[in-house]
Structure 1
Amino acid sequence: MTEERSHLRVRGEPPARWGAVRLLMPLIDAHRRPRGPYTVAAALLRHLVPPALGSAPGLVAAHDIEILAAAPELAGIVPARRGGIDAELSDEERILVPAPRRTLRLANGLAEFVRDAVRPGGAIAVCNAAEADPTDVELLDVMTRRIPPGTLSIMVCSGGPAPPPGTRDVDELWALVDRCVREGFLHAVTELGEQGMAATPPGGASWWRFAQRTATALGGLGRTGEARAIWDRVRLTSQDPAMHAAAAYGTAMLDARHPDPAARDLVRARGWINEAIAISTILPDPAERAFKLGFDRNGLALIELRHGRFDAALALVDSAIELARELGERHRQHRMVLLANRAQLLSGLGRAKEALDDYGAAVAIDPGFPDTYVERGNLLFKLGRHEEARADFEQALRAGPPLPEAYYNRAELRVVLGEADAALADLDRVIELDPEYLDAYINRAGLLAGRGRDDEARADVETGLRLAPDNPYLLTVLGQVETEAGRPAEAGAALDRALELAPGLAAAWGNRGVLRYETGDLEGAAADLTRAIELQPQPDLYANRAVALRALGRQAEAEADDRRAAQLS
């Protein structure tokens, strides 16, 4: 222990000597080898949860999903109060793989639990951090950022004695991979899945399970080249039609879902998905054929949607839903996904009532799945049904670990309802949960600038531009802040650049119109405000143009603009 102390990095003010630190528990070994994901988290939870069940059972209940995801061994004492149908499904029916961002949600929930469960003034010490699973690395980062040093000191060292190598048989390895897939621990899936493939006969059923999960996880992490290589190995190794159909589908989705739109190859994706459909069509088992063919047609619908062909995409999803009727009560999650996808397409086609019906049917299948509430809330917001939208966003927040998107969407709703302080609080929460959430900086900067809090707005703009240089929305707010600061040259440069990047951005035209008025260019001000109104008629734009027109002596036009501003308000 003495040897380790010199390597520990203490967050905050270091104690005068090691003995001044009150360790909550013995040194935590973060090495991922013995346990895998959330090794540090599980050690903390095993220490904190039992006493919290006696002193603060509501706190445990509020974080049941996060606790059980990180420490499933606590299932005997922590009831699963929330959650979707995923835990009830068989392996073949579980089709959703959580996005990589889910671990950030879990980390935030766990950090909040630890913050509220510990007695202030304690500390934890962690060794072997360099060998920790990415889930623990992320958790330690979130805890360091979100738990005040006076509540918990976190000391981390990269060194430490390595645990013995150990071995897992194939069944143990599969159980861990299956858990990691269900929870969204994708980095661990890629590492453990490769071990499983190496430990099983190529082309066999066990090998295929490891290969399919590993390739899917690699695709989810954006490691498309490695994922494609595994799908190629499947094709080289197997002659099973179902494996070839799944490999063709997986390869198609690497192109159709590539995180960089410029790197998507929809032509190649269509070729692979057509191959998947051709194979699925001739599968001998009727239930397997109906499921896999519907799955593949849903994939082709995504490609049609990427091409902007909503009607073709809708027809494909309709056909997949018809095929799902042949499955009886099986594959509930598959039906939920298809209904939600059809709802999105119907919404895009302006068929809002049908879309809401499908969202309702999807919610009925899995009331614990937060994404459907967010999507339905967005549609209700668009329809002006604001209180129903608020209810859906808040249900999404209750359904699982902290969800930045739901707070962000509720903030937009609160802006429309005139609840600016509440909107700012929601945006504060978004950025606390995810400091790289660019849109939250954009919206918060705009709100702060509108309330005259220009220094705070400028700070958000600067942070946002570090994340996304040349973002036109941030440059627009920067132009507004520079105008208020009496720096017309800097304001003009920011707004000119915003319009160069986004000629259809009404706010940039409007703000440049205000700047031109302030600098005495009345004709330029009127022209810019006219363009802003053409793009997005808003009462403040009409009111500002009225001021410019009146200064130009165009009284009748100014009065007409005042009337329009009043009507729109």
Structure 2
Amino acid sequence: MIEDRSHLKVQGGPPARTPEARPLMPMIDGHRRPRGPYTVGAALLAHLVPAVLERSAGLVASYDIEIRAVAPEVRHLVPARRVTVDAGLPDDERILVPAPRRTLRLANGIAEFVRTAVPPGSTLAVCNGDQADPTDAELIDVLMRRVPASTLAITLYSGGPEPPADTRDAGELWKLVDRCVQEGFLPAVAELAERGLALTEPGGERWWRFAQRAATALGGLGRREEARALWEQARRSSRDPAVHAACAYGLAMLDARDPDGARRDLGRARGWINEAIAISTLLPDPAQRAFKLGFDRNGLALIEFRLGRPDRALELVESAIELARELGERHPVHRMVLLANRAQLLAAMGRAKEALEDYAAAVAIDPMFPDYYLDRGNLLVKLGRDAEALADYEAALRVGPPLPEAHYNRAELRIGRGDAEGALADLDRVIDLDPSYLDAYINRAGLLAALERDEEARADVTAGLALEPASPHLLTVLGQLETAAGRLPEARRALDLAIGLSPGLAAAWGNRGVLRYEAGDLIGAVADLTQAITLEPQPDLYANRAVALRALGRTAEAEADELRAAQ
């Protein structure tokens, strides 16, 4: 049985051979059980990397992070060129777990490498595709989407030989779990740690290490109730104060970081984080106490900020920074996170100069960590320091695998500077890297509509609405396009819906004002344009209202609007 994926053409049996089609390598068994994440990816790279090194070492070096993460077997062939500070730290100092989206970044980097490395006309067959790890499933999808079928045609079979039973002991599983945590392979962490938990005694040190990693991964994957149950099981299985403090922190963050604001329980989160702080205060080891207490206070700062108390949040982060000074040179990542968090708070409070100083200090600790380049770049844009912001976005692009967010932010900067073609190039890149990036469709559709490339804009609106049917921004662009096409009833439906969904969206009111003018409703046009101006005064809104006012014979008001538009 074959899954119909992307450009698959084969309906059954082995792929047909043509004079142009050449198997790249023997069929890969994609079953995740023997090896875990990137079973397919590692086999593919083990085949390609040695050959590519002979003709283009620079190409391999360009994707050092991606290749080393996906295929540890060839790490000895690929020197690390872009190295983050946590690579050389002991286990207890590696506190950051990559977000689930990191695997998409890795997959995009590998796809770009493969696209260049593979001879045209190659084919690749994978069996046991239905048993592949999520990392491989994602990689195969990206390869099929981004590598032309004329270069590499992939046939994915859902059947294949059953691998032997997993006989790895807890020690072997732990090494794999630890690697998966470092790389951000969260589904594998959850699955493999569950096996490790079954092989260890509840409450023991190794059981706890599996439990902590599994609960953290489950929370990151949005499987919050499973994570909560595991934290609770750990609390019931241990009398170690450090374990109880960590569990209380984990439970607090499940509530504080819930992306659904309606489900977020900040009161319960405060109760758990207070318990964590109370326990951490009593830890006997001074260094452990300083680290854990600072970690917990930083968590409380998040809760205070979300409760609308930025001053209290800032005090807590500053107290955590003071505690971190007791650690000497240890825990650099902890210090980096605290400095960046203080920068975010200071920026939110309008203290931009101090925020930039903290961002600079955070970036200096780990110049290969992209997130804070993005945050600092966003602040620099708000300050009108576009050249510096652009440098930060480009630094974020250099230091790691392909990063859609950096291209998106650079596109917004370019739109603001009137560089429509540069912005479109960045937005094209965002959507190429991540076809689910809704905001990129919104911005590209709006930009294309402004350039009167209406058919392209309509295609983006259609694609975006397939992702989010109730997007007021896309409905606004749709209304604009329907108005331009003379389909006024359809335009009115789209714009009424956009305003109903987002009454504060000035563009929706402005576009409905244009629509009502086109429909001959001059009074309604002035009313809608006035509402748009109230929400967001813009020159084009004043200019459009001036046209409607002149048509009503209200010349003095029209001249005043024309003056405002010119100014």
TM norm structure 2:
0.97
User: What CA deviation, in whole Å up to 9, does each residue of 1:268-319 have, x standing for no partner?
Assistant: 1111111101100100001100100110011111111111211111111111
Matches within 5 A, 1:60-71: 60-71=60-71
Whole-Å separation in 1 of the counterparts to 2:279 and 2:507? 51
Distance 1:17 1:76, change over 3 A: closer
Q: 2:141 is matched with which residue?
A: 141
The match for 1:243 is 243
Give SS of 1:83's match. Answer: coil
Deviations 1:94-153 (A, max 9, x none): 010111111111111111111110010001100011111000000001111111100001
Work out the CA distance in 1 between the residues paired with 2:369 and 2:150: 36
Structure-2 separation of matches of 1:17 and 1:108: 26
Q: Partner of 1:383 in structure 2? A: 383
Q: What letter matches 1:557 in structure 2?
A: E
Closer, same or farther in 2 for the Cα pair 1:170/1:13, shift >3 Å?
A: closer
Q: Do the aligned partners of 2:8 and 2:155 also contact (CA within 8 Å) in 1? A: no
Task: State the secondary structure of the residue aligned to 1:155.
Answer: strand
Moved more, 19-28 or 354-363: 19-28
3-state SS in 2 of match to 1:261: coil
Aligned partner letter, 2:515? L
1:347-496, aligned counterparts within 5 Å?
347-496=347-496
How does 1:123-272 map onto structure 2 within 5 Å?
Answer: 123-272=123-272
* Cα distance in 2, alignment partners of residues 344 and 48 from structure 1: 43
Q: Are 2:277 and 1:283 equivalent residues in the alignment? A: no
What's the CA shift for 1:13?
A: 4.5
User: Is the partner of 2:17 in helix, strand or coil?
Assistant: helix
1:198 Cα shift? 1.6
Contact 1:7-1:157 at 8 Å conserved across structures: yes
Residue 323 (structure 2) pairs with residue 328 (structure 1): no
Q: Quote the Cα distance in structure 2 between the aligned partners of 1:17 and 1:79.
A: 37
Change (3 A) 1:9 1:506: closer
TM superposition shift of 1:17 = 6.4
Q: Return the alpha-carbon distance in structure 2 between the equivalents of residues 487 and 169 of structure 1.
A: 67
Instruction: Map 1:463-542 onto structure 2 (within 5 A).
Output: 463-542=463-542
Whether the 8 Å CA contact 2:476–2:507 is kept in 1: the answer is: yes
Distance between the aligned counterparts of 1:89 and 1:383, measured in 2? 36
Q: CA–CA distance in 2 between the matches of 1:13 and 1:441?
A: 29
Mapped contact 1:29–1:126 kept (Cα < 8 A): yes
Aligned to 1:41: 41
Secondary structure, in 3 states, of the residue corresponding to 2:461?
helix
Q: Which amino acid aligns with 1:103?
A: T
Q: CA deviation at 1:501?
A: 1.2
User: Aligned equivalents of 2:526 and 2:2: distance in 1?
Assistant: 65
Consecutive unaligned residues of structure 2, counting only runs of 5 or more, are: none
Please report how far the alpha carbon of residue 9 of structure 1 lies from its aligned counterpart in structure 2 after TM superposition: 5.8
SS of the aligned residue for 1:247 comes to helix
The 3-state SS of whatever aligns with 2:344 is helix
Of 452-461 and 152-161, deviating more is 452-461
**Are the aligned partners of 2:10 and 2:155 in contact in 1 as well (CA < 8 Å)?**
no
Q: How far apart in 1 are the matches of 2:75 and 2:407?
A: 29
From the superposition, tell whether residues 378 and 50 of structure 1 become closer, same or farther in structure 2 (CA, over 3 Å): same
Select between 543-552 and 364-373 the one with higher mean Cα deviation. Answer: 543-552
- What's the CA shift string for 1:47-98, capped at 9, x where partnerless? 1111111212221111110000001121211011013112111100001011
Distance 1:12 1:31 in 2: 20
SS state of the match for residue 289, structure 2? helix
Q: Does 1:112 align with 2:112?
A: yes
Give me the whole-angstrom Cα distance separating, in 2, the residues matched to 1:191 and 1:444. Answer: 39
Q: Distance in 1 between matches of 2:354 and 2:264?
A: 31
**Most deviating of 398-407 and 20-29:** 20-29
**Alpha-carbon distance in structure 2 between the residues aligned to 1:237 and 1:455:** 61
Q: C-alpha separation between the residues in 1 aligned to 2:288 and 2:174?
A: 23
Which residue of the partner structure matches residue 89 of structure 2? Answer: 89
Describe the SS at the equivalent of 2:201: coil
Distance (Å, rounded) in 1 between the aligned partners of 2:483 and 2:462: 16
The one-letter code matched in structure 2 to 1:315 is E
Of 12, 16, 19, which aligns to 1:18? Answer: 16
Q: How many residues are matched?
A: 562
Q: What letter matches 1:274 in structure 2?
A: N
Q: Which residue does 1:340 correspond to in 2?
A: 340
Q: 2:556, 2:71 → 1: CA distance? A: 71
Shift of 1:447: 0.6
Equivalent residue, structure 2, for 1:3: none
Query: Which amino acid counterpart does residue 268 of structure 2 have in structure 1?
Result: R
Question: Is the Cα contact below 8 Å between 1:9 and 1:157 reproduced in 2?
Answer: no
What's the CA shift string for 1:468-523, capped at 9, x where partnerless?
Answer: 12111111111101100101111111111111111111101111111111111112
Q: Per the alignment, in what secondary structure is the counterpart of residue 263 of structure 1? A: coil
In the alignment, does 2:565 pair up with 1:565? yes
| Preserved CA contact (<8 Å) 2:516 2:522 | yes
TM-superposed CA distance for 1:19, in Å, is 3.1
Cα distance in 1 for residues equivalent to 2:9 and 2:288: 61
Alpha-carbon distance between aligned partners in 2 of 1:83 and 1:554, rounded to the nearest angstrom: 66
Distance 2:524 2:15 in 1: 67
Q: Distance in 2 between matches of 1:124 and 1:17?
A: 9
Is 2:113 aligned against 1:122? no
The letter for the 2-side match of 1:520 is G
Larger deviation, residues 41-50 vs 513-522: 513-522
1:537 Cα deviation after fit? 1.1
Q: Provide the C-alpha distance between the structure 2 equivalents of 1:174 and 1:49, rounded to a whole number of angstroms.
A: 28
Q: Per-residue CA shift, 1:327-361, capped at 9, x if unaligned?
A: 10000000100111111110000000000000000
Letter in 2 for 1:243: V
Query: 2:413 & 2:365 partners in 1: Cα distance?
Result: 27
Rounded Cα–Cα distance in structure 1 between residues aligned with 2:412 and 2:15: 49
Question: Does the 8 A contact of 1:373 with 1:395 survive in 2?
Answer: yes
Two-structure CA RMSD over aligned residues (Å): 1.4
1: distance between equivalents of 2:55 and 2:560? Answer: 66
Deviation at 1:169, TM superposition (A): 2.5
| Cα offset, 1:389, TM superposition | 0.5
Contact 1:256–1:302 (Cα < 8 Å) also in 2: yes
Residues 349 and 8 of structure 1: CA distance in aligned 2, closer, same or farther (over 3 Å): closer
Match of 2:32 in 1: 32
Please list the CA deviations of residues 357-391 of structure 1 after superposition, one character each: whole Å capped at 9, or x if unmatched: 00000000000000010000000011110011111
Please identify runs of 4+ aligned residues in structure 1 that moved more than 4 A: 6-10, 12-17
- Taking the aligned partners of 2:441 and 2:380, their CA distance within structure 1 comes to 24
How far apart in 1 are the matches of 2:412 and 2:524?
32
Cα distance in 2 for residues equivalent to 1:36 and 1:406: 30
Q: In 1, distance between residues paired with 2:4 and 2:450?
A: 42
Structure 2 CA distance, aligned partners of 1:447 and 1:332?
42
Post-superposition shift, 1:203? 1.1
Q: SS of the counterpart of 1:19? A: coil
SS in 2 for 1:284: coil
Q: Distance in 1 between matches of 2:60 and 2:379?
A: 33
User: What is the alpha-carbon distance in structure 2 between the residues aligned to residue 500 and residue 198 of structure 1?
Assistant: 52
Query: How far is 1:43 from its partner?
Result: 0.4
Q: Which amino acid in 2 is paired with 1:92?
A: D
Secondary structure of the residue aligned to 1:99 is coil
SS at match of 2:163: coil
Cα pair 1:121 1:151 within 8 Å, conserved: yes
Aligned partners of 2:397 and 2:403 also within 8 Å: yes
Structure 2 letter corresponding to 1:18: A
Could you say what secondary structure the match of 2:153 adopts? strand
Change over 3 Å in CA distance of 1:488–1:8 after alignment to 2: closer
